[in-house]
Amino acid sequence: MTAAVVALSGGIGGAKLALGLARVLDQGQLTVIVNTGDDFSHLGLAISPDLDTLVYTLAGLAHPEQGWGRRDETWTFMSALEQLGGETWFRLGDADLAMHVERTRRLAAGETLSELTDRLRRKLGIATRILPMSDDPVRTRLETDTGWLDFQDYFVRLRCAPRVRQLAYLGADTARPHPEVLTALGSRDLRAVVICPSNPFLSIEPILAIPAIRAVLAECRAPVIAVSPVIGGQAVRGPTAKIMRELELEPGAEAVTRRYADLLDVFVVDETDAATIMPAGIEVVSAPILMTSLEDRERLARVVLAAADRVAARQN
């Protein structure tokens, strides 16, 4: 088995780089550990947005601009629900709805989130292994000036407007990492661990908040390389920079990684942030990190893997 690569991902930016990695690596060489802190129950359905964003992206089904949900979507269900006075702030397209209904059915039938995710990704012809960080519930919540909010209430219903005071990842301290997560991160033929350019507070931290995952990463033999989710202090998408300001962190690339710099061997920043200063022992690599085309995703994946290989060559 040629050397494996493990990526940590959540949300839109992470899925983009995961696609780039899947395309430059051999089939089945990539395992992605996915944030489940955004998951919630809505309209009686079990919804796992970061798992779905990755599955749709790797299956070529993702909406090209929106970043979540499916391409070529229709909205008959939503308009019928509107007519009935149902909750429509969280938009569920007709084809996307099938994923939530099928996941809810499988969970009710006793399948774990990881089992059903594995079956569904195979059904969609995805060779990359997709692992929820845990089959136990972890929920990202935010304390704001309007009180504590569940993640999707903050992110979608309130459009990230409330001022964030602190974040909590409920259940992370007792959640058991999926066993394959520990196996993948501990395996001897691991080539690299890639922390994808997802929102550090909302997508990466929840994964690292599971003690056993952070611990196994800290011991990891393979190079650990993160890609900055901000360019010139601005998040490519989403509320990263706003949350950083509200948490009184300067929204620079280095501040992003303060929370997990101790795990890193390499930090990849955009060329505009080439002057980024990182703690000793962390190599800063500057490259174009904005991914708009498929080629961008593949090129960044190659930059990441080459940097990891250089570290491994030095260490061995």
Which residues contact ligand FO1 (rule: CB under 6 A)?
Answer: 11, 38, 49-50, 52-53, 68-69, 90-92, 96, 152, 155-156
As measured in angstroms, the least distance from the Cβ of 81 to ligand FO1 is 13
As measured in angstroms, the least distance from the Cβ of 294 to ligand FO1 is 20
As measured in angstroms, the least distance from the Cβ of 12 to ligand FO1 is 6
Q: Is residue 74 within a helix (H) or strand (E), and if so which, with residue range? A: none
As measured in angstroms, the least distance from the Cβ of 102 to ligand FO1 is 13
As measured in angstroms, the least distance from the Cβ of 1 to ligand FO1 is 32
Residue burial 93-103, b: 16+ Cβ < 10 Å; e: rest: bebbbebbebb
Q: Which of 105, 221 has the CB closer to ligand FO1?
A: 105
Q: Which of 171, 223 has the CB closer to ligand FO1?
A: 171
Q: Cβ atoms within 10 A of the Cβ of 139, count?
A: 17
Q: C-alpha angle 229/252/132, rounded to 5°?
A: 30
How far apart CA 52 and CA 59 sit, in angstroms, is 10
Say if CB 131 and CB 32 are below 8 A apart: yes
Q: Which of 50, 270 has the CB closer to ligand FO1?
A: 50
Which residues have CB under 8 Å from 115's CB, separation 6+?
A: 106
As measured in angstroms, the least distance from the Cβ of 226 to ligand FO1 is 18
Number of residues that make up the chain:
316
Q: Which of 9, 286 has the CB closer to ligand FO1?
A: 9
Q: Which of 96, 270 has the CB closer to ligand FO1?
A: 96
Q: Which of 80, 306 has the CB closer to ligand FO1?
A: 80
190-195 and 4-9 strand pairing = parallel
Q: Among candidates 256, 196, 259, which has minimal Cα distance to 224?
A: 196
Q: Among candidates 256, 169, 235, which has minimal Cα distance to 208?
A: 169
